[in-house]
Structure 1
Amino acid sequence: MSSLTEENQENMLKWVIRYVMIPVSLAVITGLFAIEVIDREIASRNQAPQAEVDYGAIFATMTAVAPQPQPEATATRLPSSTPTEEASLETTPVVEAPGVNVAGSQVTAVCGQVPAGWRLYTVQSGNTLFSLARQSGTTIGAIQQANCLYSQLMAYSQIWLPPFFASVIIEPLVTVTPTITVTEEVALPDLINDTRDWPTALLSCEGTVCATTVNLAVTNAGTAVSNSFDVLVRLDPEQSVVITGVMDGLAPGQTGTLTLTSPFTVSCYDPDCTVCISVDNRGAITESDEGNNQHCTTFTDFVGGG
């Protein structure tokens, strides 16, 4: 056991000598050698002769420069500040447009600078920046720049535009001449009661009953021949007595006569006698005037017949 311990101690001593003492000794020797070399170098430099500086040569190469006169300081009298009334200016805010790069520098265009020749225009309903730019021959950006306009157009507001509206030729409105339609007049008859000496009413009585004879005349005042037509006569009292007859056709301007006698009945005079004549009472003839076919006559003097 003791022999093993001694062996370990010996191995430990060898390891210390090899790996500790020998490297340390070498390092010390190397350091001492380096110090010696440095000391010798310093000593050799200290023993070298110092070069003399020729100050005369240095001054000989220098160029003399004349002293420059310094400007005298002159006192400048500053004007005394007199308080003045500040002018009140109403300023309009300037809106800066987006910057534009020109030759590498940032140029900021200021809006509100109206180009020469532009005029105020009242915005109409339906106008857009696109339509106004197209009609005026400019761009939307130019309109926005001149008017500081970066929102929608407001109807009836005023903006600056090129004078395109003043140069637009307003075409005169085409006057539509009304077309006159010529309607060919159709020739028609017009039957009327002739009232010059007609009608007449004659009363014939037998006892208490009487008959009335009516003589009437009808004229065709139209421009066409009429066919035959009916005539209706009503007598007093209360237009209850009715007589009818037929008249032959009449040429334009022709007058025809017709005599009609009532049956024996009460007297027409009560006290007066009213006779109402209706020409073409059935409406068989188409006339130019349908409103003149009826005529009434009142007789006040009794006229008897044989």
Structure 2
Amino acid sequence: MTRVVRFYEHGGPEVLRIENVDVAPPGRGEIQIRVKALGLNRAEALLRAGSYIETPALPSGLGLEAAGLIETVGEGVDGFAPGDAVSVVPPLSMVRWPAYGELVTFPVELVVKHPPSLSWEAAAATWMAYLTAYGALIDIAGLSSEDLVVITAASSSVGLAAIQIANSVGATPIAVTRSFDKKQALLESGAAHVIASAQEDLAGRLREIAGEKGARVVFDPIGGPIFNALTSAMSRGGILIEYGGLSPEPTPFPLFTVLSQTLTLRGYLVHEILSDTQRLERAKAFILDGLQSGSLRPVIARTFPFDQIVEAHRFLESNEQFGKIVVTV
């Protein structure tokens, strides 16, 4: 028997339950991992609440990121052995491959030997954030040292990963956050500029910073009214990559700005990278190189013990965190 987290109905964090279940041995091409740490993501809160892109049969497990020691390998698995320290690339379906448990099973192609210098917490905080940011900034936008890049929701784990990736290629990251509370922390985390969107004129500050050159790349999970401000400061031929919809307000289409500046507005999900073997391998190589060199360093907001998974989800939804929330097992 092993402990896992499941929910029997959709709702708030309180619907999560820790239960003892029997776990089958790994099948062919699978690896079973004794979990040391879990990384929490908004997608898990959405699945739990019933508003995710995936609809589970209930009861359902959940979770996209884990790190730990290999317990057992299935038939046909090469290059891995019991006792290896590994972390997990997020699966396309967390319902099929849930990570919230003491003992979890994943396909071998989703298991990575991370640099031994990483702690369990950092390893569990790596893949969703850096894969999401890499896919948008490097794979799609081709970010380079010549670019200004605007990163909204900058204090999230993905936002911080984006700042680090921008710096690693010599681009200039402009961080957008709601208030001045996190300004100093963002500057210390590598942002070249910080804008507090609820306390400053976002469009004006962006134009002041970007000047006539404008920002070629915008990386945004919010949408809503800020689209007008974001696009107004973009360079001709720029690209706005939208990877979420956190704003409850309608998102306007800035038609004349898009036309006059020949902009691209691009929807993006990390599943694009996860479902393409070649793109995923390039992403993993880039991220592992960054982790090894130290240019990429996961930022941990707070850790919770496994028994406090409900409290961890409450903190996840508080929007108070700076970086990744991790659960230790």
Instruction: Report the TM-score when normalising by structure 2.
Output: 0.17
Greater helix fraction, Structure 1 or Structure 2: 2
Quick one: higher RCO (CA 8 Å, sep 6+), 1 or 2? Answer: 2
